[in-house]
Amino acid sequence: MKNIAVIGAGTMGNGIAHVFAQNGYKVNLIDISEESLDRGIATITRNLDRMLSKEKITGEDKIQTLKNITTHTQLSSGIPNTDLVVEAATERLEIKLGLFKEMDAIAAPNTILATNTSSISITKIAAATARPEKVIGMHFMNPVPIMKLVEIIRGYNTSDATTKVIMDLSLKLGKTPTEVNDYPGFVANRILMPMINEAIETLYHGVAGVEEIDTVMKLGMAHPMGPLQLADFIGLDVCLSILNVMYDGFKNPKYAPCPLLVNMVMANKLGIKSGEGFYDYNVSRKAEIVSSQFK
């Protein structure tokens, strides 16, 4: 497995492309516009510069990593002749189903199709293809170049052979793959999102303020980041989407998103990406927070 396609040049997609390229894989990074691709490559370049300044890589490593990435605006040019496609597009079912149907038609018969979804059913996504045994979840954590975990999610029809290939591949990337089964939220978000939602409920009911809630969890529970700051970092729209998937999947009220979260998303207070969430992020503060994740 040498040639990889990554669909989506946003936060997760450019991070996934970065990790594959840094480990010697040829990567086709695909997005709908040149502007999105340019932003993705700029982010990868900044992150490589940060690693270079910390002497984690050499200048030659940086040059070769960037050489390993080719950008495309069409699936038809970026997917053929690849061994693996990793989809990291918007967390919306209809978008993913459309992409996987198109990917299936373009990719070679033996190509594995993976999704970085954080909550949507792998089985449902695989049903849009004629190769459900070759569809699997690769849920990377943000920031991808730093975080070691890859949650490997088997759909109902995902084969043992596909799972082994992706587990082995993740190890070659320097990651720690953990195999889980296909239920709403998988493991990471089934546990994390209710905690974040409860932190928002705690704020909503006036038990404590934003910084106080985060301080309790950081100092009392040894979390590196408080749940409200983490929600801002993930994106409040993403948190809401994941909670809705779990609520719809389980029909259990404990997964119902807090009204405060719903209102904040409707008001476009999405966290770091919009400049305001539970915290207010000016340019320097945003840079400081993002930079801190790569220490």
Has 189 been annotated as catalytic? Answer: yes
Is residue 120 situated within a structural domain?
yes
Shared domain check, 283 and 147: no
Q: Which helix (H) or strand (E) holds 139?
A: strand 135-140
Q: Which residues contact residue 245 at a Cβ distance below 8 angstroms, ignoring those fewer than 6 apart?
A: 119, 120, 184, 185
Residue-number span of the structural domain to which 264 is assigned: 191-290
Q: Any known ligand binding at 273?
A: yes
Has 110 been annotated as catalytic? Answer: no
Q: Any known ligand binding at 232?
A: no
Q: Any known ligand binding at 68?
A: no
151, 170, 241, 276: the active-site residue:
151
Q: Quick: pLDDT tens for 249-281.
A: 999 999 999 999 999 999 999 999 999 999 999
Q: Any known ligand binding at 76?
A: no
Query: Between the CA of residue 126 and those of 79, 100, 113, 115, 289, what are the distances in Å?
Result: 17, 8, 9, 10, 37
**Contact criterion met (CB below 8 Å) for 114 and 136:** yes
Has 151 been annotated as catalytic? Answer: yes
Is residue 121 situated within a structural domain?
yes
Shared domain check, 143 and 11: yes
189, 197, 241, 276: the active-site residue:
189
Q: Any known ligand binding at 116?
A: no
Is residue 61 situated within a structural domain?
yes
Q: Quick: pLDDT tens for 141-161.
A: 999 999 999 999 999 999 999
Shared domain check, 154 and 222: no
Q: Any known ligand binding at 3?
A: no
The residue written with tokens 């934003």 in the block is: 210
Q: Any known ligand binding at 220?
A: no
Which candidate, 132, 239, 224, 148, places its Cα nearest to that of 189?
239
Shared domain check, 203 and 285: yes
Domain ends where: 181, 204, 225? 181
pLDDT in tens, the chain (295 residues): 899 999 999 999 999 999 999 999 999 999 999 999 999 999 999 999 999 999 999 999 999 999 999 999 999 999 999 999 999 998 889 999 999 999 999 999 999 999 999 999 999 999 999 999 999 999 999 999 999 999 999 999 999 999 999 999 999 999 999 999 999 999 999 999 999 999 999 999 999 999 999 999 999 999 999 999 999 999 999 999 999 999 999 999 999 999 999 999 999 999 999 999 999 997 545 444 444 444 4
pTM summary value:
0.89
pLDDT, residue 283, reads: 56
pLDDT, residue 291, reads: 44
Is residue 60 situated within a structural domain?
yes
Domain ends where: 148, 181, 214? 181
Domain ends where: 126, 146, 181? 181
Has 201 been annotated as catalytic? Answer: no
Q: Any known ligand binding at 142?
A: yes
28, 68, 139, 241: the active-site residue:
139
- Helix 11-22 and helix 34-53, axial crossing angle in degrees, nearest 10: 60
